[in-house]
């Protein structure tokens, strides 16, 4: 096992002008939720796994009692029309723990992209605001000026100097290293409070992604999850509200 290892679990697919859509864990888990939704809705097929010595030394327990080494996973999806572009999907349990691990992981992902003929990449993530938000906007950054225009047309938002801290992690690196290696790339970042997993933000991201690609999937499952999370958020706010009152009371007394 190398520092980063690729394990093909099915025959390497032959794809027509494929694009990569990446969604790994991050703020609000927006990207991961979005890509997992795509995989479930389209019944995309897993063909490869990536292991990294920079992932935590951990296995998860499958529902049947067997173990699974933490990893990242590649899926593919053939377009319904032959002329449409095929799709490669990437999600996983973790991003690398260290800087070096993150760089190595992204380089491995780009190596696989090159082998598959992927030339365009979409990375999905969240943009943490730290406060509640009614209808999340989707911020955007790209590798090429020409893509900025295109994505604006699809409804993506470009705010000067936002995110001020740039993009940290695989969603950023895939574009940054990708650009140097000749890939075109777009990052969609759904606004999110960032406290909880955020299916609402994932939905907003997928809406724009569908405009930017030939992908079409239903979003009702996400909407249902979004309502569940909203319910939990409401409960948490109530508990918090109570404790705030208590604090106020204490301050008054003290």
Residue nearer to a second copy on the CB measure, 7 or 235: 7
Residue nearer to a second copy on the CB measure, 77 or 188: 188
The torsion angles phi and psi of 206, rounded to 5 degrees, stand at -65, -35
Output the smallest distance, CB 138 to a second copy, in A: 13
Output the smallest distance, CB 177 to a second copy, in A: 6
CA gap 213, 205 in Å, rounded: 12
Output the smallest distance, CB 14 to a second copy, in A: 26
DSSP secondary structure code for residue 221 in this structure: H
Residue nearer to a second copy on the CB measure, 99 or 247: 99
Query: Which chain residues interact with a second copy by CB under 8 A?
Result: 1, 3, 7, 51, 53-61, 63-70, 96-97, 99-104, 106-107, 140-145, 148, 158, 160-163, 165-170, 172-173, 175-177, 179-180, 185, 187
Output the smallest distance, CB 157 to a second copy, in A: 10
Residue nearer to a second copy on the CB measure, 68 or 227: 68
Residue nearer to a second copy on the CB measure, 218 or 254: 254
Output the smallest distance, CB 29 to a second copy, in A: 16
Strand partners, 139: 157, 189
DSSP secondary structure code for residue 157 in this structure: B
Contact 6, 50 (CB under 8 A): yes
CA gap 197, 190 in Å, rounded: 12
- Which residue's structure tokens are 């999600």? 91
Question: Distances from the Cα of 106 to the Cαs of 92, 93, 173, 233, in angstroms?
Answer: 13, 15, 7, 34
CA gap 50, 94 in Å, rounded: 11
């Amino acid at each position: 096992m190398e520092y980063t290892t690729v394990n093909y679990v099915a025959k390497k697919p032959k794809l027509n002008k494929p694009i990569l859509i990446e969604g790994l864990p991050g703020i609000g888990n927006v990207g991961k939720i979005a890509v997992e939704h795509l995989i479930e809705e389209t019944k995309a097929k897993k063909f490869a796994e990536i292991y990294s010595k920079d992932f935590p030394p951990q296995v998860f327990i499958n529902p049947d009692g067997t173990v699974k080494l933490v990893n990242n996973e590649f899926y593919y999806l053939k377009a319904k029309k032959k002329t449409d572009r095929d799709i490669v999907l990437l999600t996983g349990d973790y991003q690398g723990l260290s800087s070096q691990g993150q760089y190595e992981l992204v380089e491995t992902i780009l190596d696989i992209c090159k082998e598959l003929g992927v030339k365009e990449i979409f990375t999905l993530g969240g943009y943490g605001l730290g406060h509640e938000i009614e209808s999340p906007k989707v911020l955007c950054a790209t590798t090429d000026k020409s893509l900025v225009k295109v994505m604006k047309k699809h409804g993506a938002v470009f705010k000067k100097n936002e995110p001020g801290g740039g993009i940290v992690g695989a969603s950023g690196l895939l574009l940054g290293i990708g650009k140097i290696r000749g890939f075109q790339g777009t990052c969609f970042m759904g606004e999110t409070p960032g406290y909880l997993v955020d299916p609402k933000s994932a939905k907003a991201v997928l809406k724009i992604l569908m405009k930017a690609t030939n992908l079409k999937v239903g979003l009702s499952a996400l909407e249902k999850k979004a309502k569940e999370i909203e319910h939990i958020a409401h409960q948490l706010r109530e508990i918090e509200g109570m404790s705030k009152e208590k604090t106020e009371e204490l301050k008054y007394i003290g």
